Chain A
Amino acid sequence: MNLSFLRLSVWIYLAIFFAYLLGPLVIMAVTAFNSPSFPSATPWECLTFEWFSALFQDTRILNGIKNSIIIGAGTVVLSVLMGLAGALMLTQIWPKLRATYYTVIIAPILIPGVVLGISTLVFWDRINRMVGLGPDSVLSSGLFLTILGQSTFIASYCMLVLVARLQRYDTALTEAALDLGATHAQAFRKVLLPFMRPAIASAAVLAFLASFENYNTTTFTFGEYPTLTIELAQKVRYGISPAISALAFIIVILTVFAALTNEAAIRRRELVAAARREATVAELSGGGVKLPGFLSGNAAAGLLVALAIATIVVVGTATVYSPDQCITDIREQKRIEADLRAEELRRKRDEERKLKAAEEPAPAAPTGTGTSSGSFGGVFDPNALQNAPAAPEAEANPPAGNNSGFGGVFDPNALKGTDN
């Protein structure tokens, strides 16, 4: 009983944790399809695709995507190169320097992105001035600064990924190549590089993603090249719109696609390997191995196909579907509701006024209120407000002869009077 209780609590904890992790994304995705212009999931009004078309008509977003891709490409090249060089250097650096060197190249991960952005900006500004170039030279261009600033720490990530693979490399392979007469460049290109290829690929993907989503460093260096993240931040800070949810939804879907494709490919490779292992020698030599189909026993591939079909269906619906009818209905409904509410308010006010009028005989009513016949029952009548508080104050204050709200406590005479 104790064990099953433990298991249950583990599952509940996992559920809560993943709800915290994924819930916000799901809700954001829902708001991309809801019609109110403030992104909200509740109340649900109309299914609409207009936020997607609004997104694709936003030139600033499109321009940001373009800049992000250019900067991402530059960052990938620079940081993978520096990361690889840094990783190779780590394996053969003078032992006494090793700890210091490792601290230096790992530090950019820990330095706040803001600090990296500032230091890049300040340093290259100074170099620019030393060289004597104007304010619009290459050295102060946003493109150049952003690539350098981002590469500073993204190269450290790449280095970590590459070092993990490099540790399994047998340096005897390079030595063998050199003994057989290869030049150093050839040995590097034909022996080490093919071995490192998977790690280089994952480092490049990691570098691009890190560059694409970076905000803290870029916000100081971007200059005239605002990236997508910068544009999004400015939009989100000065008024949010469901078009941003639409963009997020697209990114999430692309991510899921990429992840599922990767999963499906891995699973397929495993299945193929298993099939080959079980095949007889005759089958193998005859080329008659029955390889499993793409979809059999591969849940990720199945999901991938389902997601692709769903996407096509949704896009197809979006082109023919028009939410206009629903939106006008909702608008009409809202108008009726507002009318009803106003009507009710008016009735209540009327009743209150009648009640008041019945309680107080007509001559005692404050002057002026009676003339007001608006639906607000005279609350906006300036006289109504003035008359009411004036009466009690006049009663409380007469001895001090002071009309301030502090009831005369700051009156120097008042203090003297009590002292004596």
Chain B
Amino acid sequence: MPRFLKDFLTRNGTGPGLVMLGLVLFWTVGLIILPQLSMLDFSFRPNLPPPEIGGPKDVYTLENYKYLVYGPEGGGQAYNAVDLMVFFRTLVAAVCVTVFNLILCYPIAYYLGQTKGNHIRVLALMLIIPYWINEILRAFALRIIFGETGVLNTILTGIGLFDTPFDFIRNDYALYAGLGYAYILLMIFPIYNVIESLDHNQIEAARDLGAPWWRIHWRVVIPYAKPGISSGCTMVFMLSAGALAAPQILGGPSSLWFTQLIYQQFNDSSDWPQGAAYAVVLLVTCILLVLAIMRLFKVNMGDIGK
């Protein structure tokens, strides 16, 4: 038995130590690492009917990844323009949603973090309540508002801004509003947590030295809140790039989100390896993008989740 394992068991007792170790191993290896590796392995295999799995035809292939880039074989197109477009559109839109959320939430987080008083508790409560109800229901609420005969259109045509109802759903405005709406809390809380611990005297000092408000934020508050900001941005970006409910409910009929393609491959065309390959591409791209941006802004992985 290795030394550290022996130490571990004497420190925690054999029984509790083994239970703890078993649970941690089950979680990290059985639920996190092996399933991801299994998905990666699966994405390199052809789509076979169950009896042929493990048979002579079950060999590694790059087919599924080729499909994303070049489209079906003999499809007549140089590239799989549809799927690639969806992929890049998803990433760009997720970045836009993240930036929008950051701009929207930073002032709120700053206000909540630096103001004292009883009303702050009430505001925090009002912030949390929408997040206790279902993701689907939140999207549904926005659909009622943005629908063709929805509240917004009734108001806009009522005051004469538009003659005919504007189709917010087909133009994807509803989708972006919905994605922004869905993850506000995940942006506010990390920033709030950091700003709350910022000593107000620092801001006072900066003000006394004659700094205008925007410079106080630029030179004092934002550098201090950087771990919170990057944590919030990472979560919002990952979640909106991987969102499925909001695009399904609020997306226009002609525009797809990349996760919807994955969903279709699993449920409609039951091509699991293809879906797994797309999922791997999504995961790897998102992680690389986040790591690149964290490197750019000099933030550590350990700051995430604080």
Contacts and interface: CB of A to CB of B under 8 A. Distances in A.
Interface of A: 6, 10, 13-14, 17-18, 20-25, 27-28, 31, 38-43, 81-82, 85-86, 88-89, 92, 94, 99, 101-116, 118-120, 122-124, 126, 129, 148, 151-152, 155-156, 160, 183-185, 188, 209, 212-216, 219-220, 228-229, 232-233, 236-237, 240, 244-245, 247-248, 251-252, 255-256, 258-259, 263
A216 B248 CA distance: 11
A252 B181 contact: no
Nearest to B248: A237
A251 B134 contact: yes
A219 B27 contact: no
A381 to B, nearest CB: 28
Contacts of B150: 40
A232 B140 CA distance: 9
- Among B13, B19, B249, the one with the most A-chain Cβ atoms within 10 Å of its Cβ is B13
Given A82-B23, A86-B24, A92 B244 contact: no
Contacts of A263: 121, 125
Contacts of A151: 27, 31
B242 A24 contact: no
Contacts, number: 251
Given A13-B107, A27-B141, A106-B304, A152 B32 contact: yes
User: Taking chain B's interface residues, is the majority helix, strand, or loop, or is none over half, making it mixed?
Assistant: helix
B184 interface: yes
25 contacts: A23-B145, A24-B144, A82-B23, A82-B26, A86-B27, A106-B305, A110-B238, A111-B36, A112-B259, A112-B282, A114-B282, A115-B282, A123-B39, A184-B16, A215-B244, A229-B135, A233-B248, A236-B136, A236-B140, A236-B143, A240-B143, A248-B141, A255-B133, A256-B129, A258-B132
A119 B36 CA distance: 6
A40 B144 contact: yes
Most chain A CB inside 10 Å of its own CB: which residue of B19, B107, B129: B129
Contacts of B297: none
Contacts of A82: 23-24, 26-27
A89 to B, nearest CB: 5
Nearest to A105: B28
B134 A112 contact: no
Given A22-B130, A109-B305, 8 more contacts: A85-B20, A86-B27, A92-B11, A104-B33, A118-B39, A185-B15, A228-B134, A252-B133
A122 B263 contact: no
